[in-house]
Amino acid sequence: EQIIARLTTYPGIGQSMAERIVEQLGDETWTYMNEDLDILLLIPGVGKRALAKIREHHKKQSGAVAKLRNRLIEVGASPGLAKAINAEFGEYSVRMLNDHPFAVARKVPRFGFALAERFRRATGIDPANPERVDAGIVDLMRTSVRADGDCCLPPDEVRARAAHKLGLTEDLADD
């Protein structure tokens, strides 16, 4: 699914073509493509002209922002966030997405807690991770202000709501 999403960003590769490529090349699609793009000529519907466009696009996919954009696509996020993330974290952008998505959510507008959660699940970060808990509480406070006008929730209610939102026990949300 992630491979297909990324392939559809290439010119001339739509959903059905991407599915055919993955059907033929499997999980090793990127390995094959990075070694020899001519293998795509074996896929029905890929001709020399299409391959030339694909090759040109593939060359552009090696820079820092391109790698970041690809990582965003892999988790179903908007690749339009790549420039903002790169501006904030530079060469450490992909590492920050994978290891500290909640720090990215704090620093990059439009990234948000929900997207950080996608990266957490994709990379296996512990649900009780302190960065996640802190970010979840901050997000809870922001959404509580917007949703019901509260600007000051009692600590017990914050713990209970945070525990529910994060799927944790109240003692973990209290740390």
Q: How confident is the model at residue 148 (pLDDT cuts 50, 70, 90)?
A: low
Q: Sort residue 16 into left (φ over 0), alpha (ψ -120 to 50) or beta.
A: alpha
pLDDT at 79: 86
pLDDT of residue 150: 59
**Quick one: pLDDT at residue 64?**
77
Euclidean distance between CA atoms 56 and 149, whole angstroms: 52
Work out the percent of the chain whose per-residue pLDDT is above 90.
Answer: 54
Over the stretch 79-130, which tens digit does the pLDDT of each residue have? Answer: 889 989 999 999 899 999 999 999 999 999 899 999 999 999 999 999 999 9
pLDDT at 31 over 80: yes
CA–CA separation, 167 and 175 (whole Å): 15
Mean pLDDT of the chain: 88
Q: Please give the residue that has the higher pLDDT: either 148 or 136.
A: 136
CA-based nearest residue to 18, from 54, 68, 72, 49:
54
Listed range (49-58, 88-97, 150-159, 163-172) with the worst mean pLDDT: 150-159
Helix (H/G/I), strand (E/B), else coil: 111: coil
Judge contact between 95 and 126, C-beta under 8 A: no
Among residues 124, 145, 135, 133, which one has the least CA distance to residue 170?
133
Q: Within the chain, how many helices (H) and strands (E) appear?
A: 12, 0
Q: Which is it for the CA torsion 122, 124, 128, 130, positive or negative?
A: negative
Angle between helices 82-89 and 64-74 (to 10 degrees): 120
Region 12-30: mean pLDDT is: 92
**Average pLDDT of the segment spanning 63-78:** 84
Q: How confident is the model at residue 172 (pLDDT cuts 50, 70, 90)?
A: low
Q: Is 59 exposed, middle or buried (0-12, 13-18, 19+ CB in 10 A)?
A: exposed
Rounded to an integer, the average pLDDT of 38-44 is 93
Q: How confident is the model at residue 169 (pLDDT cuts 50, 70, 90)?
A: confident
Report, as an integer, the average pLDDT of 159-167.
90
